[in-house]
Chains A and B, each alone.
Chain A
Amino acid sequence: MRRILVSSVALAMMASSASADMKIGVLLGFTGPIESLTPDIAAGAELAMTEASESGKFLGGQKVAPVRGDSTCVDAAAATATAERLITSDGVAAIMGADCSGVTIAVTNNVAVPNGVVMISPSATSPALSTIEDKGYFFRTAPSDARQGEVLAQVAKARGIESIAITYTNNDYGKGLAESFSDAFEAVGGRVELSASHEDGKADYSAEVGALSASGAGHLAVFGYIDKGGKGIIQASIDTGAFDKFLLADGMIGDSLVKAIGEPLNGAVATAPGSDSPNATKFIDVAKAAGIKGDAPFVGQAYDAAALIILAAQAAGSMDRAAIQSKIMTVANAPGEAIGPGEVGKALELLAAGKAVNFQGATDVELNEVGEASGSYKEYEVRDGKFTGVNVH
């Protein structure tokens, strides 16, 4: 009698644990410097989870539930504590995040790898994350800035720019991008006359511009932030007549810049992650139907990151953390049937039937050997006061 009781209790426990939802951590900076972007990014990730839950095909009809956590974007200690909580207390199977490069590095090193939890970042772009000791647990659907530097160098070369001065915002993002760009630009035969950092939050950048202009370069590359130092540098360059031709990176693209600078900005060239592919266009529609801005920064990447986790669990047939890790690359890359945005249900069905899938998602995901998207970049030119897409690299 007693044995029957014990075994039935054990059975009941197993049953209840088997029917529990799979939880995925959504670790983003809901407070801090990118708090205006994160609600859309989180919604993108949660869209993929809703699709999986509603399809009824995930691991025989189970649901996927998001658990949000605040990474703060800048405070590594706070992000680490939040990630610990997600893993130990909420028991998430994997984490979609973190967002900014600095906290992502900290969480990968201190929490994700030691606990053996997969983390897929939609937006951390620092080149340092390519070489991090992640034991295969860190992935990203955002391309590394090392790649953006190369693309920018090709764009500069193609437009006949020979000598350039670089100014970058003094942090991981700016420094990494400046280094990768100047290496790539010199490799294609360009001359970098000066590469100098600038601090954000100053009132006046004419002194910085004076030094950049003294270098004798004909063009100025600005790798900064649109509402901060980057704008100040461009304004001071135009005010003093030091530069009128600019090369910009993804942090500088936005209507507020064109509005602030006006006509003199026409002709400026910029690159940012993005593409014109049918999947990207389709994702915007899929997102719109769910009330999400699909073309906002990193929303597609977040959708893809969450979808990869779900499909990997399905391919592994379990919510086990290590099992998920072993299947991420399999579902992300060929061979298999190509899966676009809005087709998570279809992919789950195929996987359940034992077929292979090649998840493309919103950003045409293709993970390289270190588990990061090579990504495509859109080239923009400012024409008549608007950033206009002119090319895709």
Chain B
Amino acid sequence: MIVDVANALVLLCNFVVVPAIAYGSQLALGALGITLVFGVLRFANFSHGDLMALGTMVTILATWQLRRWGVGAGPLPTALLALPFGALVAVVASLAVDRSVFRFYRVRRSGPVVLTVVSVGVMFVMNGVVRFVIGPDDRSFADGARYLMTAGEFKRMTGLDEGLAIRSSQVLTVFVAVASVATLFWFLQRTRMGKSMRAYADNEDLALLSGVDPDRVVLVTWTITAVLATVAGTLYGLDKSFQPFTYLQLLLPMFAAAIVGGIGQPLGAIAGGFLVAFSEVAITYAYKKFLRYLLPEHLHPDGLVQLLSTDYKFSVSFAILVAVLLWRPTGLFRGRVL
């Protein structure tokens, strides 16, 4: 009996908990960028997914170059060494876009809807650039040790029927995400610049009167956003795979995460990221085997016990989005209303 329960839990960990934690961390990092831009610059930035793709693309190109030079990071993926290059290019690109496109509308004090539509245009251009440079196909750039523990090793270790596989990319994702979030919070809470940013986000006019330099705030916001986007994109690409179009598709769950958590609230973005990830994975998982371990034989299900086919994974984000906007538009952490 205890063995059955252990098997059931391991099964659930392998197919739901572990993947959802990794996916949730990636979404949280992406949602943080969206929520920062919304909080400080006051518009929903649709080009965020493609900023991720752009940063990841440069990271991939740098990874390939490093490998050609024979540089590696041992058991860790080479992409970690290449990440600063990707982040740098993403920062430069987003500053250039801000300078040439967004600033024009900011100076004219255009409404958030105008800026959002402008960001859709930026999204298409960035997507085109990425596909032009690296092509629309699947690019693999993961190297180093793939597994911390394979399902087979776990089975041999514990003697259970079910295996638990943990990939190094999953652990790496969680570590890097925690480190990035901790740094970000320290920056926002403790440094002078972080405080200026929060002040600017709370009340632009008052902040300007108190001597906050708006150009610097914008510059720092884009820098942080671009770095976060590159980190999130690279982790996602390492853990899953890189295709320019999948980053466009990530936009929906990331926005859902930011809105569920309360837009403009960094803590909310993280909570939202995990909530969306766990819902997506848990709702589309087939519980047939899980229930077979737990239920007595006459109650064994014949069907797959799957609430929603995996084809409809994205509808989970949509449903969460609609539900939150209907019943609690400020989100879990009382952010702003879109």
**CB-based contact B286/A211 at 8 Å:** yes
B15 contacts which of A213, A231, A260 (Cβ < 8 Å)?
A: A213
**CB-based contact A207/B240 at 8 Å:** no
**CB-based contact A213/B243 at 8 Å:** no
Interface centre among A194, A207, A232 (most CB of B within 10 A): A207
Q: Any chain B CB within 8 A of the CB of A197? A: yes
Known: A197-B311, A208-B310, A213-B15. A203 touches B286 (CB 8 A): no
Q: Classify chain A: how many residues form its interface, as a range.
A: 20 to 34
Q: Which residue of B lies closest to A199 (CB)?
A: B311
Q: Total interface residues on B, using CB and 8 Å?
A: 43
Q: Any chain B CB within 8 A of the CB of A241? A: yes
Contacts of B150 in A (CB 8 A): 241
Q: What CA separation (Å) do A203 and B250 show in the bound complex?
A: 10
Q: What CA separation (Å) do A203 and B240 show in the bound complex?
A: 6
Contacts of B289 in A (CB 8 A): 213-214, 216
Least Cβ–Cβ distance between B310 and chain A, in angstroms = 4
Contacts of B140 in A (CB 8 A): 260
Q: What CA separation (Å) do A75 and B304 show in the bound complex?
A: 37
Least Cβ–Cβ distance between B148 and chain A, in angstroms = 12
Contacts of A196 in B (CB 8 A): 309
Contacts of A159 in B (CB 8 A): none
Q: Any chain A CB within 8 A of the CB of B180? A: no
Q: Which residue of A lies closest to B16 (CB)?
A: A210
A207 contacts which of B14, B246, B285 (Cβ < 8 Å)?
A: B285
Contacts of A199 in B (CB 8 A): 311
Least Cβ–Cβ distance between A21 and chain B, in angstroms = 40
Interface residues of A in 197-237 (CB under 8 A from B): 197, 199, 201-204, 206-208, 210-211, 213-216, 227-228, 231-232
Contacts of B152 in A (CB 8 A): 241
Least Cβ–Cβ distance between B222 and chain A, in angstroms = 26
Q: Which residue of B lies closest to A170 (CB)?
A: B311
Least Cβ–Cβ distance between A232 and chain B, in angstroms = 7
**CB-based contact B311/A210 at 8 Å:** no
30 A-B pairs within 8 Å (CB atoms) are namely: A194-B304, A197-B311, A199-B311, A201-B243, A201-B246, A203-B236, A203-B243, A203-B246, A204-B239, A204-B241, A207-B19, A207-B284, A207-B285, A208-B310, A210-B15, A210-B16, A210-B284, A210-B286, A211-B285, A211-B309, A211-B310, A214-B286, A214-B289, A214-B305, A231-B138, A240-B14, A240-B165, A241-B152, A241-B155, A260-B140
B: residues with CB less than 8 A from A are 14-16, 19, 23, 137-138, 140, 146-147, 150-152, 154-155, 163, 165, 167, 236-237, 239-243, 245-246, 280-281, 284-290, 304-306, 309-311, 313
